[in-house]
């Protein structure tokens, strides 16, 4: 694919890129630069916008897989999802840095992961000790409607929580089971649990209030909206009630950036201080996205 930055043709080469924040300040468009001429200074400006706004969007550009991989590599070290490495559903035929998300079929077999169903609120690859910092998702093929993606501002939500609730959460861990994937299937290498007590299931734990490794600000960090998540040490019913209160905030449009995809859009989100979900779409239509991710710090909480 030829790499033409449609939006930047009128701007002089080497000019500063422009950041256009959305009305609530969460999410911004980045306009006015040329992917072909991407340099360290522009990447530093992009990083600053991404740290400020949580989610940034590139719209109106055309760029290739190679350029997505190059930009991601300039932002940090790659995180490769297990599916990418094992050549499973979701592996890209040419770039092991790319995870293919979608419902396209090749020779009757699904070539992407996650199908066409709705995906519940989550952060990416939370089941790793060091989940991704940046995730870049590039729209390759879109259905006529559906498949919108929503991002939630977990700094803003943390700051809005009643202070009594913040006190309960500070210094605690959130536990989520690693047995099931987002679609409820037993992950490769895991076995189904033999007890109903979710506290005993194979899991990953992270601080539920997390200090962001670059901004130093605190935010809520919940891997996934799931009945098998548990705030370690709390009675199960209290933990479930608090998680439900947190997700009431996450569902509020005031804390969200809604992405209605256009051809070629790329979204880059900070996976440490945001969550996301997406709508399903009619499975007779194909939707294909290419995702790359960079390594984040091990989640920590600084008192």
Ligand X SMILES: O=C(O)CCC(=O)C(=O)O
Q: Binding residues for Fe ion, per CB under 5 A?
A: 124
Which tokens in the block code for residue 197?
């007590």
Nearest CB to ligand X, comparing residues 76 and 193 = 76
Give just the sign of the alpha carbon dihedral 181, 184, 187, 191. positive
Nearest CB to ligand X, comparing residues 206 and 291 = 291
Q: Which residues of 61-97 are buried (b: 16+ CB within 10 A; e: fewer)?
A: bebebebbbbbbebbeebbbbbbbeeeeebbbeebeb
Distance CA 111, CA 281 (A): 17
Nearest CB to ligand X, comparing residues 63 and 150 = 150
- Contacts with ligand X by CB under 6 A lie at 101, 119, 124, 135, 137, 149, 276, 278, 289, 291
* Binding partner selected for residue 92 from Fe ion, ligand X, none, CB under the kind-specific 5 to 8 Å limit: none
Nearest CB to ligand X, comparing residues 169 and 273 = 273
Greatest CA span in the chain, whole angstroms?
Answer: 63
Min dist CB 302 to ligand X, Å, is 27
Min dist CB 187 to Fe ion, Å, is 15
Residue found under tokens 């559903």: 89
Residues present in the chain in total:
303
* Binding partner selected for residue 291 from Fe ion, ligand X, none, CB under the kind-specific 5 to 8 Å limit: ligand X
Min dist CB 187 to ligand X, Å, is 16
Q: Using CB atoms within 10 Å of the CB of residue 173, give its burial: 0 to 12 exposed, 13 to 18 middle, 19+ buried.
A: middle
Tell me which residue of 228, 275, 278, 292 sits closest to 123, measured CA to CA: 275
Min dist CB 278 to ligand X, Å, is 4
* Binding partner selected for residue 270 from ligand X, Fe ion, none, CB under the kind-specific 5 to 8 Å limit: none
* Binding partner selected for residue 137 from ligand X, Fe ion, none, CB under the kind-specific 5 to 8 Å limit: ligand X
* Binding partner selected for residue 101 from ligand X, Fe ion, none, CB under the kind-specific 5 to 8 Å limit: ligand X
Distance CA 43, CA 49 (A): 10
Nearest CB to Fe ion, comparing residues 97 and 124 = 124
33: which residues sit within 8 A by CB, 6+ positions away? 5, 8, 11, 15, 17, 42
Collapsing DSSP to helix, strand or coil, 45 comes out as: helix
* Binding partner selected for residue 7 from ligand X, Fe ion, none, CB under the kind-specific 5 to 8 Å limit: none
Nearest CB to ligand X, comparing residues 53 and 276 = 276
Min dist CB 299 to ligand X, Å, is 18
Min dist CB 259 to ligand X, Å, is 7
């Amino acid at each position: 694919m030829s790499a033409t930055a449609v939006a930047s043709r009128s701007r002089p080469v080497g000019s500063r890129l422009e950041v256009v924040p959305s009305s609530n300040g969460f999410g911004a468009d980045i306009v006015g630069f040329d992917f072909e001429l991407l340099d360290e200074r522009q990447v530093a400006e992009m990083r600053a916008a991404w740290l400020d706004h949580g989610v940034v969007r590139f719209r109106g550009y055309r760029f290739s897989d190679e350029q997505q991989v190059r930009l991601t590599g300039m932002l940090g070290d790659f995180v490769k999802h297990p599916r990418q490495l094992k050549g499973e559903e979701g592996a890209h035929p040419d770039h092991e840095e790319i995870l293919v998300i979608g419902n396209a079929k090749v020779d009757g077999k699904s070539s992407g992961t996650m199908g066409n169903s709705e995906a519940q609120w989550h952060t990416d690859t939370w089941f790793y000790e060091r989940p991704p910092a940046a995730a870049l998702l590039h729209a390759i093929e879109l259905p006529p409607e559906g498949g919108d993606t929503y991002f939630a501002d977990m700094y803003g939500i943390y700051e809005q929580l009643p202070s009594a609730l913040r006190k309960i959460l500070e210094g605690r861990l959130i536990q989520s089971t690693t047995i099931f994937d987002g679609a409820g299937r037993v992950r490769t290498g895991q076995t189904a649990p033999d007890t109903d007590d979710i506290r005993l299931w194979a899991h990953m734990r992270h601080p539920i209030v997390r200090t962001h490794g670059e901004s130093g600000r605190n935010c809520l960090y919940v891997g996934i909206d799931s009945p098998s998540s548990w705030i370690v040490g709390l009675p199960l019913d209290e933990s479930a009630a608090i998680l439900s209160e947190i997700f009431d905030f996450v569902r509020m449009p005031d804390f969200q950036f809604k992405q209605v995809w256009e051809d070629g859009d790329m979204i880059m989100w900070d996976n440490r201080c945001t969550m996301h979900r997406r709508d399903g779409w009619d499975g007779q239509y194909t939707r294909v996205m290419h995702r790359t991710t960079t390594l984040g710090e091990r989640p920590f909480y600084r008192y």
